[in-house]
Amino acid sequence: MKLRIAGIANDSIVDGPGLRLTVFFQGCPYRCPGCHNPQTHDPAGGRETDTAEILALMDKNPLLDGLTLSGGEPFIQPEAALELARAAKARSLNVWAYSGATYEALLVKHDAATDALLAFCDVLVDGPFILAQRSLDLSFRGSCNQRLIDLEKTRQAGRVIER
């Protein structure tokens, strides 16, 4: 499946726990001031690739602990992100996703691909980056408003459970 990406980090240690394959999706409607990936905002930027290329990278690294879907905004290409998340779970990898939207905003879209993608994710880092709430003391997120949501526990509890 075709998708537009800004880039790929084959061995990230900053986008979730352990060694991760991080896919930076191209395009972001939120355009947060102070974003650390402003080059990902333009939906026409980056490059087009195929999920098969990313899956090949996933298979080349037996040390991977997980896949991170970052951006830009992965939820504007939910079908491609879902394909990657399914493949990662089939390889016993954990899946993290970042979104400038809140979990609640993603749910109310009632979009089948978005809902399925959330079902395959272990953690969602949600909410826009807010420069005035920036903190270098936070793990895996940039501002205090952003949450690390444990999606399995959230689904079980029927309410947001943070890690």
Domains and CATH numbers, the chain: 2-157 (3.20.20.70)
According to the model, what pLDDT value does residue 55 have? 98
Sheet with strand 20-25: strands edge to edge: 47-50, 2-12, 20-25, 66-70, 94-98, 123-126, 147-150
Q: What global pTM score does this model have?
A: 0.97
The label of the residue with tokens 């890690």 reads 163
pLDDT tens, residue by residue, 84-104: 999 999 999 999 999 999 999
According to the model, what pLDDT value does residue 115 have? 98
- The CA-atom distances, in angstroms, between 131 and each of 40, 43, 78, 142, 155 are 17, 22, 27, 8, 30
Measured CA angle at 7 (ends 3, 9), to 5 deg: 120
pLDDT band of 10, cuts 50, 70, 90 = very high
pLDDT tens, residue by residue, 33-87: 999 999 999 999 999 999 999 999 999 999 999 999 999 999 999 999 999 999 9
- How far from chain centre, in Å, is Cα 10? 15
CA dist., res. 113 & res. 32, Å (int): 24
Handedness of CA 89, 93, 99, 102 (dihedral sign): positive
DSSP secondary structure code for residue 109 in this structure: T
Find the helix or strand (DSSP H, E) in which 45 lies.
none
- Answer for the pair 141, 148: CB distance below 8 angstroms, yes or no: yes
Q: State the average pLDDT over residues 16-44.
A: 97
According to the model, what pLDDT value does residue 32 have? 95
